[in-house]
Amino acid sequence: MRAVAVILSVLLFGAARLPMEHALAETHRQLHFRAVDFNLDLREQLGQLGFVAALSGFRSLVADALFIQAHVAWERTEWGRVLFLFRQITTLQPRAVLFWDMAAWHMAWNASTAAMNDPAQPRLALRVKTAREYFQLGKDFLERGIKNNPERPELYEALARLYRDKYEDHEHASEFFAKAAALPGAHRYTRRFAAYELAQCAGREREAYAQLRALYDSGEQERLPTLLRHLKELEIKLDIRPDQRIPD
C-alpha cells in the first residue's frame, strides 16, 4: 500500500506540474529564448571557474571575457579561434544582437577577404572556395541570430547586406531589407534598399517600379540620386507613358 501511495503521489505531482511547465515553455517561446548549451566544448574553453560562473548566472561576464579573446584572435588573424570563440559567445548570450553581427562580420567579410588574399594558397579556385565557406559561416550566424531575435531589424539588415555584397543575390537582399524595414526601430533607408535590390531582379520590374514610385511620391526626402536612377531605368524598360514619368 505504501508503494502504491508513493506512485500515486508522484503521478499527482507530475500532473500538477504540467500546466506550470507548459506556461513556462510558452513564455520562453514568446521571448524567443534558446537555452544555453553547456556542453563539453564550452567546458573546455571556459575552464572550471568560467564554466561554474556561467552555470551560476554570470553568462554575460563570461561572454564579455570571451569577446575580448575573440578580438585578440582577430588581430592575430586566427580565424579558426575567432569562429570557435564566437560560437561560445553567441551560445552564452543568444539575445545579444551585437555578438551575432560581429561574428558574421568577422567570418563573411574579414576571414573571407583574408582567404582570397592568402599568399600560401596559389590556386585561385581553392581561395574562392574557402572564401565562400566563410560567407556561409557568416550567413549561419545571422540566421541563428534572427531565430533568437526575430523582432530586431539589425540582423535582417546585416543578412540583406551579405546577400547583396557577397552573394550578389538581389532577390534575397530585397527580401531581408524589406523584413528589416517592417520592424520597429529599422533605419529609414532599408525600405529604399529593398526597392533598389528588387529593381535588379529580372521579372520583378513592375513591382520594383511601384515601390520606387511610391517612395518618390512620398516626398523630397526620398528623391535621392540612386532612387531617381532606378526609376528612370525602369520607366524606359517598362515603356511608361511620357506624361507619367518623373521630370528630368
> Taking the model in full, what pTM does it have?
0.79
To which H or E segment does residue 228 belong?
helix 225-237
Domain ranges of the chain: 38-146, 151-248
Say which residue the cell 565562400 belongs to.
Answer: 132
- Given pLDDT bands bounded at 50, 70 and 90, which one contains residue 44? low
Question: Are residues 208 and 235 in contact, defined by beta-carbon separation less than 8 angstroms?
Answer: no
Per-range mean pLDDT, top range of 10-14, 50-54, 181-185 = 181-185
- Given pLDDT bands bounded at 50, 70 and 90, which one contains residue 54? low
| Residue 87 buriedness (CB in 10 A; 0-12 / 13-18 / 19+) | buried
